[in-house]
Amino acid sequence: MDRNYHVFSDGRLERSDDTLRLVPDDGGEKQYIPIENAEAFFLHGQIDFNTRLMSFLNDRTVALHVFGWEDYYSGSVMPKRGQTSGKTVVNQVRAYEDNQHRRQLAAAIVQGSIHNMRTNVIYYNGRDYDLDDVVEDLEAAAARVGESLPVDELLGTEATARKAYYRSFNKILPSEFQLTRREYNPPPNEINSLISFGNSLVYANCVSAIRATALDPTISYLHEPGERRYSLSLDLADLFKPVLADRVLFRLVNRNQISDDDFETELGSCLLNESGRKTYTKAFEETLERTVEHPDLNRKVSYQYMMRLEAYKVKKHLLTGEEYEPFQRWW
């Protein structure tokens, strides 16, 4: 799989022959970033770029994900699809408009999401964190999931499960990173800031994964399609947030690789500073590159490839009718 590049400096990103050049605003040394084998660029600083750069990235099918004020995910500049398929989009819309079909897909996503949350909790419960009550609540939520439930009730069940899941954070993490309430826009404390930042990286990577297919990223099944968001990415991100964002968070905090010094507080918001973002994204990208033996493919695949594979599984289901089985951590 190709790799992601994260840019934190303020400045101008431009084409330089067959590579990219970052010209910092502070007059510092210019940086050259290779374009070969690039999956996407993540812009965390205040970056200027022009249409010449966009054409260059488009020709090489490289995405650009922009993080704006308070490091919120602001949007993506996507290359034209390597493949297009009117048949795929038509089938995608038909599945959305067919209530039973939509409920079927939404229920599968919720089941996968709860399974992956439960896997995390069981992992730490086995290390004497006393999380039996959370495991029971997640199992009860999973038992309520069914294809006959309306989509809004499926969303509510997933939200109830996630609320129970977040209770485990207070036993897994040290006291200075306690989660009393999930808040964002903006996050008021360190733990909420970490959760939001990690979730935004998972979401953006799902956008890149969907880009590799002919699926329309705005047509989704669990989350209601809306304006100014790739709602299909929200669907897929729910499956991967526990496996990627949360495990990175637990590891960094419990190993003291992230501390109070990696945050800055301003106007009621608490955000990772540049040092904190660099630490988190480094660990996140290392996790994306890890490989595990896939039980169906009989070969090792990276976490990043699993996200792309998930998009292809949805597409195959829509085109062939093959049952969609959501990603559920098996290792």
pLDDT digits (tens, 9 = 90+) for 22-46: 999 998 899 999 898 899 999 998 9
Residues 6+ apart with CB under 8 A from 69: none
Looking only at the bridges linking them, the beta strands covering 63-67 and 73-77 are antiparallel
Mean pLDDT value across residues 303-328: 97
Which pLDDT value is given to residue 247? 98
What is the tens place of the pLDDT at every residue in 119-140? 999 999 999 999 999 999 999 9
Which pLDDT value is given to residue 81? 61
Mean pLDDT value across residues 305-310: 97
CA dihedral 68, 70, 71, 75 (to 10 degrees): -40
Residue 229: pLDDT band (50, 70, 90) is: confident
Instruction: Judge whether residue 112 has pLDDT over 70.
Output: yes
Which pLDDT value is given to residue 83? 59
Q: Identify which has the larger pLDDT, 97 or 60.
A: 97
Residues 6+ apart with CB under 8 A from 212: 82, 308, 311, 312
Q: How far apart are CA 203 and CA 206, in angstroms?
A: 5
Residue owning tokens 């009550």: 133
Domains of the chain from N-terminus onward: 3-77 (3.100.10.20), 86-320 (1.20.120.920)
Dump the DSSP string for 97-115: HSHHHHHHHHHHHHHHHHH
Burial 282-304 (b: 16+ CB within 10 A, else e): ebbbebbeeeeeeeeeeeebebb
Residue owning tokens 């995405």: 63
Label residue 298 left, alpha or beta by phi (over 0 means left) and psi (-120 to 50 means alpha).
Answer: left
Instruction: Judge whether residue 185 has pLDDT over 90.
Output: no
CA 119 → CA 46, 79, 290, 330, distances in Å? 38, 35, 18, 9
For residues 40 and 52, the answer to whether their CB atoms sit within 8 Å is no
Which pLDDT value is given to residue 226? 85
Label residue 61 left, alpha or beta by phi (over 0 means left) and psi (-120 to 50 means alpha).
Answer: left
What is the tens place of the pLDDT at every residue in 65-100? 999 876 778 889 888 765 567 899 999 999 999 999
DSSP 188: -
What is the tens place of the pLDDT at every residue in 153-179? 999 999 999 999 999 999 999 999 999
Alpha-helical runs (H) found in 48-128: 51-59, 86-97, 99-125
Which pLDDT value is given to residue 85? 79
